[in-house]
């Protein structure tokens, strides 16, 4: 097992928890998690890459072990998540790094790339979407809330936050659910049960509309800056469809695209495959 450390650092008044492993002299990979999880989603991947990379995996504000300030004190938007993570990299001294983007980590990381393209050495997108064709019908209730942000449409989204719904995200599209550890979805559900966590997640679901609006800007970034790119995707994802992975080649002809026979949380079943693909592409 690679040696890992677990720290919390003050980022402009917010405590941000992060995992770190590998030699800081090696290429850095910043691992950005998604909904509704935290940096622990990388618990299997980190040891597989730590001999070749310097790995840093923070918990986003409001997630995992990072600070979860009240909504009256912190606006839970993807712009703010990106701002905090960008400052986090500055506080811990990261100057250039690759991005591993998953789910919510995609619009967070890609916002960072738009603002500081000179810092980004490459991108791994694991079920991290940047194209409208990647959005499935599973987004329909959330899109309804975007179009009409009334209370009824907001309350309807609470079904996404239940322990059963969280577990379903882990198991859907996996041929043998006995291969999916209960650790991830059990911990996710526990964090979701904290007072106020539900409202934070509903705020982010509403703000996700701004990510879709930025897709053309993300795509222009790909065309202009041409970062080395690996899209490695669980093809059975109920939210982000395989065409979203394949679309990266439109703007990045040299992108590597791989579709795995698993679901949304591909690391739960294919961490070794993903680690090999990252090593092949970036070392």
* Number of other CB atoms surrounding residue 45 within 10 Å: 22
The whole-angstrom separation of Cα 144 and Cα 130 is 20
- Is 3 an annotated catalytic residue? no
Q: Which of 33, 172, 264, 270 is catalytic?
A: 264
Contact present, 188 and 83 (Cβ < 8 Å):
no
Q: What's the half-sphere exposure (Cβ side, CA atoms, 13 Å) at 11?
A: 30
**Gap between the Cα atoms of 25 and 93, Å rounded:** 12
- The DSSP call for residue 32 is E
Q: Which two tokens stand for residue 50?
A: 């730590």
Alpha helices in 45-174 (DSSP H): 45-49, 78-91, 105-115, 140-147, 151-156, 163-171
Q: Give me the residues paired with residue 16 across strands.
A: 9
Residues marked as catalytic: 264
């Amino acid at each position: 097992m690679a040696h890992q450390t677990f720290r919390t650092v003050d980022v402009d008044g917010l405590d941000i928890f992060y995992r770190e492993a590998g030699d800081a002299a090696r290429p850095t990979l910043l691992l950005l998690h998604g909904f509704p999880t935290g940096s622990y989603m990388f618990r299997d991947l980190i040891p597989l890459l730590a001999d070749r990379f310097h790995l840093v995996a923070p918990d986003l504000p409001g997630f995992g072990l990072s600070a979860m300030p009240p909504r009256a004190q912190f606006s839970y938007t993807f712009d703010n998540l990106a701002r905090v993570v960008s400052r986090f990299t500055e506080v811990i001294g990261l100057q250039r790094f690759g991005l591993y983007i998953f789910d919510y980590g995609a619009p967070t990381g890609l916002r960072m790339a738009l603002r500081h393209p000179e810092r980004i050495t490459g991108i791994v997108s694991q079920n991290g979407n940047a194209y409208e064709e990647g959005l499935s019908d599973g987004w329909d209730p959330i899109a309804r809330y975007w179009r009409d942000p009334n209370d009824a449409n907001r309350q309807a989204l609470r079904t996404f936050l239940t322990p059963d719904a969280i577990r379903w995200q882990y198991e859907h599209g996996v041929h043998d659910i006995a291969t999916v550890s209960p650790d991830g979805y059990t911990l996710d559900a526990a964090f979701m049960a904290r007072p106020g966590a539900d409202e934070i997640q509903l705020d982010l679901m509403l703000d996700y509309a701004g990510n879709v609006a930025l897709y053309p800007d993300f795509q222009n970034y790909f065309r202009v800056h041409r970062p080395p790119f690996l899209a490695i995707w669980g093809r059975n994802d109920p939210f982000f469809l395989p065409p979203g992975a394949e679309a990266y080649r439109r703007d990045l002809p040299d992108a590597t695209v791989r579709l795995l026979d698993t679901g949304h949380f591909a690391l739960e079943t294919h961490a070794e495959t993903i680690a090999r693909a990252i090593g092949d592409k970036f070392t």
